[in-house]
Amino acid sequence: WIMATFILLMLVLGLVLGFFALWATFWVVLLVVQFFRVAHQDLAYRRAEKHHPGIYARFQRTLALREAKRKEKEAYEKWCAERDESIYRRERQASAHRTAAAWAAFANS
């Protein structure tokens, strides 16, 4: 029994470590591929600057605009989440007060 339990534990540990290694490898490869894609795009725009003056600056403005829109969206989503939480908290407090008032009325009757 002890040996079977030990073997089973080692098998589970090996599977967990294997899945973790695959997961980590996936993210590292994704990061490297994304880095090369962005670097290649940047170099292509810099090379195109020779024949199309101003294209790299326009590309940079496009990227900055995209980043600004993303940050604005994140800020809006954060604000919405805080607002929803505030509304939910107030509703919970009102419910608790109604419950307390009902129990007080019940106790006084």
Every domain of the chain and the residues it spans: 1-35, 49-99
- pLDDT of 105 > 90? The answer is yes
Is the Cβ–Cβ distance between 45 and 59 less than 8 Å? yes
pLDDT digits (tens, 9 = 90+) for 72-87: 999 999 999 999 999 9
Interatomic CA distance for residues 99 and 1, integer angstroms: 56
pLDDT digits (tens, 9 = 90+) for 12-67: 999 999 999 999 999 999 999 999 999 999 999 999 999 999 999 999 999 999 99
pLDDT of amino acid 23 = 98
Interatomic CA distance for residues 92 and 79, integer angstroms: 20
The pTM score is 0.56
DSSP 12-28: HHHHHHHHHHHHHHHHH
pLDDT band of 1, cuts 50, 70, 90: confident
